[in-house]
Amino acid sequence: MKVEFSAKELYDRISNQVHNRFDRQTPMLLGETERTLFGFILKELLMKL
């Protein structure tokens, strides 16, 4: 099971949920998209999304 997530991977998960719930809203990702975020801290939370 993957323990680290990049900003792009987190964005993809969140963006799809936001866009499905609010048709006219699309989040933006700016900056270092391949930067690793949070490590294992958010592993369980992200797996629930």
**Amino acid at site 7:** A
pLDDT at 13: 87
Residue 8, both tokens: 């792009």
pLDDT at 22: 94
Contact, 34 vs 40, CB < 8 A?
no
pTM above 0.75, yes or no: no
DSSP string, 1-49: ----EEHHHHHHHHHHHHHHH-TT------S-TT-EESGGGGHHHHHH-
Digit-coded pLDDT (tens) for 7-48:
888 899 899 899 899 989 989 988 888 887 766 555 566 666
In terms of Cα–Cα distance, which of 27, 24, 4 is closest to 14? 27
